[in-house]
Structure 1
């Protein structure tokens, strides 16, 4: 309870601080990240003002990830996801994840062939996918020899957050000075005046928010049952069985999307309210972001600093350079806004990218936000072969014929990345505008 109250207190404290210091909001730093950083600073690893249960925080991040995916999967799909910009964003997300995996695994193999590939493959997990996925897979890979895998995943994700702020804010300043921002996006001060319809509870029924949480809980119960059954069926292959629990969030999202049409057939209609379900996912994202940063164990970073630093530095530089280079070649409308959002997403999460976008587009008037939302959904088809195929196969080969299999899997990852670029060029709107060495072609 004290750990839970500490997380709540950190989030509330940062919200109050942002109201007193408006510059924090203009900076674009998500307050959940600031709350987690303060938790790490004020905790027993630094100033020692209070103690946090690290194992509990890791558990919150792990289970919270599935709740986010389930709550998003239960919401009704919105029209408009087939635009050219959204399609290009879907290919961009897959391309970034594949190239980050190539960089991470390549660094590990070149640095020390005896290192666990997880040190490199957690780069796309922590940067592109976020702390929940990084912790989940890092924890699963501990059984195959990755020391303190959950913590390594959290540390890489936290460093990714650092890149989104330390490099993202200067990127925004550079774009403004160069006049790259789209015209007419400055805030009018009126804000968003849309009225949101909130579900009302019928007399004698449970509260509408209670119904949302109950549906999410039912989906998570079914997810647990499915993962338990798969793990028992794969008991003879413990590495693969552990990976099943690492991908519990994907199974949860699939179950939620399958439950959605069934719930719609209930008497009186579905109990799911999209607005309230969005609040459930928003609350969970804030909590797991704060918990992820506060749960980082500095001692793990100090004992494995070299591979982590090399992987995250090279990965961060590549992410920044590629996000800027590809923006005007992938999006014809508001390319700089797409570049800012794409970089924020590729070093943190979608909320991180949106927070960075709000610095140049306060009211989210540009098409970049819509591209990101629908592009994230469209990217699932390209991400699944990486998450469920190439990356687990690489980790599984660590205990058989390493590093020979490692180099073979590096080639497979590189071939997949090339295939994504080819498909992006054919179907996603990517144009290799020349000169190729120019970051921002005319």
Structure 2
């Protein structure tokens, strides 16, 4: 039938089937949950294995999957931005986590760009600058910016971003699980965090629709859709205004998720003034973001084209290996110097976040803290929000400026921008030391000072 000819529905059903299959598999094999491997990552990996890239059991529409990741990223940011802010995020641990996130992103950018300049000055800087995008920010941001940078000369930028993000997920599992085992053997875990079983029973308030009104979930999706429509209008206007600077105009579409989050936060107080109150329900909006994260994570892994990795393997491998090693070493080294309470739990979560996403970090944390009773989870949630002020100069300033300079005086400007990124990283550490609670406990060569 003609409605099946495009393959879009079969691809969508394949993603849903992979997610459901992994959920059922985890129930049959409980060890999968104990390992802390997010099931969406497993589903995406199975999609890559079973698809045309490997066993060829079924075909997936790669362009559709890339589109899902791109648009899904904005939906996640919008749905989070629409939720009411939670009080209590100004603790010392949260402030330290905010500085830690910015510091990791800045140093990953330095490592990535430095590797590219040293390896081959003719390489596009995107091969290195997608390291913090893929590791620290996740597949959505990596694909979005990689796609935008294709116009400035980054070959297969969307795929390069996805591949780096997928390798980041690999680091979070391959190095994260041994990190947990090492910490347990050393007795570094905080006492009293074993699961009590209390976390398995939750009372959830279900939003009910009034007679004659749309379903409550429909209302959430409609509000998200309105915000995304406004995001498209804003990006379109900015792109037209910057038509004389095509490289920067393309970057605008790469940052659509930031504009979407800003519009959502601006819409929140306006919606609260509606007759009868805001239509936004925080619980349902959380389900929208959770569903979208699962879908885009699975889609991102399943959409990887191995041929792109084989044609650009050297810069990708060097950048991700050195970046992964740095992320692991720094996460362990800084933990006891940045957090006084539950430092190892913070180290595990920080490493998981810095190689994947916040949900990946939380999944890894649950291996040592099944009920998320340590302060690490709260630090990560509020720290991620607090880090926005420090991340924006990188995302909207230094990184786009570096990419834009590739078409002019390169590599001279590349080295100049490397110096600027390094200076920014140093400034972050200084501010972290002054205002974020970082302490350079000695000996500095020790990973875990007494």
Moved more, 364-373 or 184-193: 184-193
The aligned residue for residue 110 of structure 1 is 118
Moved more, 273-282 or 189-198: 189-198
Shift of 1:405: 0.1
Shift of 1:189: 2.1
Q: Give distance in 1, aligned partners of 2:79 and 2:191.
A: 35
**CA offsets, 1:304-328, max 9 Å, x none?**
0000000000000000000000000
Residue 370 of structure 2 is aligned with which of 356, 362, 372?
Answer: 362
Give ranges in structure 1 of 5+ residues lacking alignment: none
**CA offsets, 1:359-386, max 9 Å, x none?**
0000000000000000000000000000
Shift of 1:193: 3.2
Shift of 1:192: 4.3
**CA offsets, 1:275-302, max 9 Å, x none?**
0000000000000000000000000000
The aligned residue for residue 276 of structure 2 is 268
The aligned residue for residue 303 of structure 1 is 311
**CA offsets, 1:325-380, max 9 Å, x none?**
00000000000000000000000000000000000000000000000000000000
Report the secondary structure of 1:432's partner residue. coil
Q: Give distance in 2, aligned partners of 1:260 and 1:13.
A: 37
Structure 1 segments of 4+ aligned residues over 6 angstroms from their partners: none
The aligned residue for residue 258 of structure 1 is 266
Shift of 1:190: 2.8
Q: Give distance in 2, aligned partners of 1:112 and 1:67.
A: 37
Residue 42 of structure 1 is aligned with which of 26, 46, 50?
Answer: 50
Q: Give distance in 2, aligned partners of 1:311 and 1:193.
A: 43
Shift of 1:196: 1.9
Report the secondary structure of 1:69's partner residue. helix
TM (norm. structure 2) is 0.98
Q: Give distance in 2, aligned partners of 1:75 and 1:197.
A: 16
**CA offsets, 1:372-406, max 9 Å, x none?**
00000000000000000000000000000000000
Q: Give distance in 2, aligned partners of 1:214 and 1:309.
A: 42
Q: Give distance in 2, aligned partners of 1:296 and 1:25.
A: 25
Q: Give distance in 2, aligned partners of 1:331 and 1:200.
A: 42
Shift of 1:227: 0.1
Report the secondary structure of 1:191's partner residue. helix
Q: What pairs with 1:366-381 in structure 2 (closer than 5 Å)?
A: 366-381=374-389
Shift of 1:194: 3.7
Q: Give distance in 2, aligned partners of 1:398 and 1:89.
A: 33
Q: Give the aligned length.
A: 442
Report the secondary structure of 2:103's partner residue. helix
Report the secondary structure of 1:125's partner residue. helix
TM (norm. structure 1) is 1.00
Q: Give distance in 2, aligned partners of 1:391 and 1:239.
A: 12
Shift of 1:134: 0.1
Q: Give distance in 2, aligned partners of 1:258 and 1:294.
A: 35
Q: Give distance in 1, aligned partners of 2:68 and 2:61.
A: 11
Q: Give distance in 2, aligned partners of 1:408 and 1:327.
A: 31
